[in-house]
A and B are shown apart, each in its own frame.
Chain A
Amino acid sequence: DVKVTQSSRYLVKRTGEKVFLECVQDMDHENMFWYRQDPGLGLRLIYFSYDVKMKEKGDIPEGYSVSREKKERFSLILESASTNQTSMYLCASSSGGYTGELFFGEGSRLTVL
C-alpha cells in the first residue's frame, strides 16, 4: 500500500518566516508533486520532480522553491511566507510508468499570520 507522508499536518507561521514542508514516499516512485488546494480554485500545481535533483515549475511556482536530494523525499520551501500562501498543501507521488494515478498525502494546512 502506497504511503505518502507529510511531516506536518498543521503549521502556523508569521509573515516573512521561512517555511519547510516535508514529504516522504515509501514506494520508490520517480515522480513527486506539490499542489496547493484552495476552495473554489481546486488543486494547482506548484512544482514537480521526475528524478532526484530534478525539478520543474508548475502553474504557480512564484514564492516557492523545492528540493529533492533523495528519491523518497520532496521538500517545499517558502523563502519568506506571506498571508496569501495560507492554504492546504498536498504532496503526491506516482510511478515512472505512465498511469495517471497520483498517490496523495494527508495534506499540510499552513496558516500565515
Chain B
Amino acid sequence: AQRVTQPEKLLSVFKGAPVELKCNYSYSGSPELFWYVQYSRQRLQLLLRHISRESIKGFTADLNKGETSFHLKKPFAQEEDSAMYYCALTGGGNKLTFGTGTQLKVEL
C-alpha cells in the first residue's frame, strides 16, 4: 500500500525566513511525487512534480529515495505563500494518494 505522511498540520514562519514542509512516503516501487497547493478561496492546484526538477514560485523539492522523503523548500518565505500544501504520490497512472496537508502561515 502507498502512503504519504506530512507530520506538521501547521507551520508558522516569519516573512523572509526559510521554509521546509516535510513529506515522507511509503511505496514499494518507484514513485512519482508531487506537491499541490490550495490558496485561500481557490482551487487545489499542482505546484510542482519531482520529475520536472523545476523551481516554481521559488519552491523546490528533491526526491530522496534513501530517506523516502520529498520535502518542499523555499529560502525566503513571502506572505503570498500562506496556503495549504499537500504532498501526493502515484506509482504510475493518474491515481494520486495525498497526505494530510500542512497549513503554512507566513507572518509579517
Contacts and interface: CB of A to CB of B under 8 A. Distances in A.
Contacts of A40: 9, 100
Nearest to A90: B44
Q: How large is the interface on A (under 10, 10 to 19, 20 to 34, 35 or more residues)?
A: 20 to 34
Contacts of B34: 100-101
Could you say which of A31, A35, A102 has the most chain B C-beta atoms within 10 Å of its C-beta?
A102
A90 B97 CA distance: 14
Contacts of A100: 32, 34, 46, 49, 88, 90, 94, 96
B25 interface: no
A12 interface: no
Interface in B77-108: 86, 88, 90, 92-101
Contacts of A92: 44
Interface in B37-54: 43-46, 49
B94 A99 contact: yes
Contacts of B95: 33, 45, 48, 58
The list of the 8 closest CB pairs from A to B, nearest first, reads A42-B100, A43-B98, A104-B44, A94-B94, A104-B43, A101-B46, A42-B98, A42-B101
